[in-house]
């Protein structure tokens, strides 16, 4: 796709946005619906490229999935209902799909092969393949199972007691999904709390999982039962509008039905630390995932330090937080964020590189970045590098420029937010 000329030199942002369904929960609704018994219905499903890759993979595993607008009906027959695929399972750009799917396939007594796009081919898989191999799965791939394509011959699994070397919801979830199929009781220990959508989903589908501090315990041999899932709006997508509303003078944006899971609300904590004018109206009938409405207004922001246990709660929001920091008074320091180096891109280096093109005063560190505010941003040619969150961050950055900004590889944004530009343009006044 050709470079896109972004909107620049706007007045203010004003209006209401209904954020599309949460990507993490949409992925998991398909996966759990496919391995549960009965017909699972999913509403407000995110039809982004990543989640469509998950649907495609489970159809190849023999699962009947019906789509209608943003609704799904998934006809599950349990883990044992999955069948050996006749084709390669292509996960596209989705790290969630490949890592969680490996946890499911590790327990299935058949052969399958997983591939993805160029970005997936560079992302490390041993953090999943090693513990799954220790449980009994036979997994191979490039560089001794480090990179795709990967082959899996699953089957009989033994339980595992495993401490995650890094805080990763994807790795944790893969091991939980394998643990559900293993003999005995598995324990997974997190170094820091990560998003708990998998644990909540297990309970929603009638399963049992225990969590004591950072120790997760799951018993094998459980039977899951179909459920009804309404996917809340994705707070990682809402983050772009929260920051835009805070940094663009005279703005006020209302965001509806946003997921407010406490393991995902790091962006809200940072906004509050930096002095943003933010209102939160929590819904009272949250039985599955907490949700609420948010109102953000243009704000006078100050720099802060972002580190430690807060990082896993905002790992996907660091690019847009970096942009927000360019418009705050004083320095903002982001550290303990090494995990950003193995996302869709090396997000530390990429964010620094692209924001510098627009005039930001920012530098990379070994585990994060330092941003010096307040910067006046100007025009230029920038690139998403195929990373949806970098692309959306740059689209928001362009709003602050009076000169032209061209975005290369804008198509990456459809991975998680196909209607992003439509929603953004509707707010511009």
| Contacts of 412 by beta carbon, 8 Å cutoff, 6+ apart | 93, 344, 384, 385, 386, 387, 388, 390, 391
Q: Which residues contact 149 (CB under 8 A, 6 or more apart)?
A: 88, 113, 114, 115, 141, 142
Q: Which two tokens stand for residue 335?
A: 């550290």
Round to whole Å and give the CA distance between 121 and 106: 20
Under 8 Å between Cβ of 304 and 254: no
Please give the radius of gyration of the chain, using alpha carbons only, rounded to the nearest integer.
21
Q: Determine the longest span between alpha carbons in the chain, in angstroms.
A: 62
Which among 50, 316, 331, 387 is annotated as catalytic?
316
| 36 contacts 76 by C-beta, under 8 angstroms | yes
Measured in degrees and rounded to the nearest 5, phi and psi for residue 13 equal -110, 130
Residue 212, Cα to own-chain centre: how many angstroms? Answer: 24
Alpha carbon distance 223, 206 (integer Å): 8
Show the tokens assigned to 205: 């589908």
Q: With helix as H, strand as E and coil as C, how does 161-220 read?
A: EEECCCCCHHHHHHHHHHHCCCECEEEEECCCCCCCHHHHHHHHCCCCEEEECCEEEEEC
Query: Are 424 and 395 contacting, i.e. CB atoms less than 8 angstroms apart?
Result: yes
Give the separation between CA 185 and CA 100, rounded to whole angstroms. 19
Report CA 137 to chain centroid distance, whole Å: 26
Which helix (H) or strand (E) segment holds residue 408: the answer is strand 405-408
Catalytic residue check, 196: no
Can you tell me which residue has the tokens 């393949």?
129
What does the alpha-carbon distance between residue 144 and residue 150 come to, in Å, rounded to a whole number? Answer: 10
CA distance 399 to 383: 16
As a whole number of angstroms, the distance between CA 90 and CA 233 comes to 26
Which residues are known catalytic residues? 316
């Amino acid at each position: 796709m050709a470079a896109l000329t972004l909107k620049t030199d706007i007045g203010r942002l004003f209006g209401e946005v209904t954020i599309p369904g949460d990507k993490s929960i949409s992925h998991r609704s398909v996966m759990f619906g496919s391995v549960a018994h009965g017909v699972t219905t999913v509403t407000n499903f995110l039809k982004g490229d990543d989640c469509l890759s998950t649907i495609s993979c489970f159809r190849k595993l023999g699962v009947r999935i019906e789509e209608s607008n943003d609704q799904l009906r998934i006809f599950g027959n349990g883990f044992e209902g999955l069948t050996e695929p006749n084709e390669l399972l292509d996960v596209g750009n989705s790290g969630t799909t490949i890592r969680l799917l490996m946890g499911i396939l590790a327990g299935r007594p058949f052969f399958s092969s997983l591939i993805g796009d160029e970005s997936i081919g560079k992302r490390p898989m041993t953090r999943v393949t090693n513990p799954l191999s220790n449980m009994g799965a036979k997994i191979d791939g490039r560089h001794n199972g480090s990179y795709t394509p990967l082959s899996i011959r699953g089957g009989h699994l033994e339980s595992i007691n495993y401490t995650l070397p890094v805080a990763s919801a994807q790795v944790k979830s893969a091991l939980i999904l394998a643990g559900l199929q293993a003999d005995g009781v598995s324990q997974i220990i997190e170094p820091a709390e990560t998003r708990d959508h998998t644990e909540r989903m297990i309970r929603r589908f009638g399963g049992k999982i225990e969590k004591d501090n950072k120790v997760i315990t799951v018993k094998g041999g459980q039977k899951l039962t179909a459920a009804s899932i309404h996917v809340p709006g994705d707070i990682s997508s809402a983050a772009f509008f929260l920051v835009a509303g805070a940094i663009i003078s005279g703005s006020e944006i209302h965001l509806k039905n946003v997921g407010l899971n406490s393991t995902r609300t790091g962006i809200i904590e940072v906004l509050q630390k930096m002095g943003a004018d933010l209102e939160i109206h929590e819904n009272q009938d949250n039985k599955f995932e907490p949700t609420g409405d948010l109102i953000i207004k243009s704000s006078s922001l100050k720099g802060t330090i972002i580190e430690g246990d807060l990082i896993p709660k905002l790992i996907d929001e660091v690019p847009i937080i970096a942009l927000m920091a360019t418009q705050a008074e004083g320095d903002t320091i982001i550290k303990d964020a090494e995990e950003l180096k193995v996302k869709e891109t090396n997000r530390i280096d990429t964010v620094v590189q692209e924001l510098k093109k627009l005039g930001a005063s920012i530098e990379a560190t070994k585990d994060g970045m330092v941003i010096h505010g307040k910067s006046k941003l100007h025009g230029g040619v920038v690139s998403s590098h195929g990373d949806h969150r970098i692309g959306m961050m740059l689209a928001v950055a362009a709003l602050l420029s009076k000169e032209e900004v061209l975005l290369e590889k804008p198509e990456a944004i459809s991975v998680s937010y196909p209607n992003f530009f439509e929603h953004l343009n509707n707010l511009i006044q």
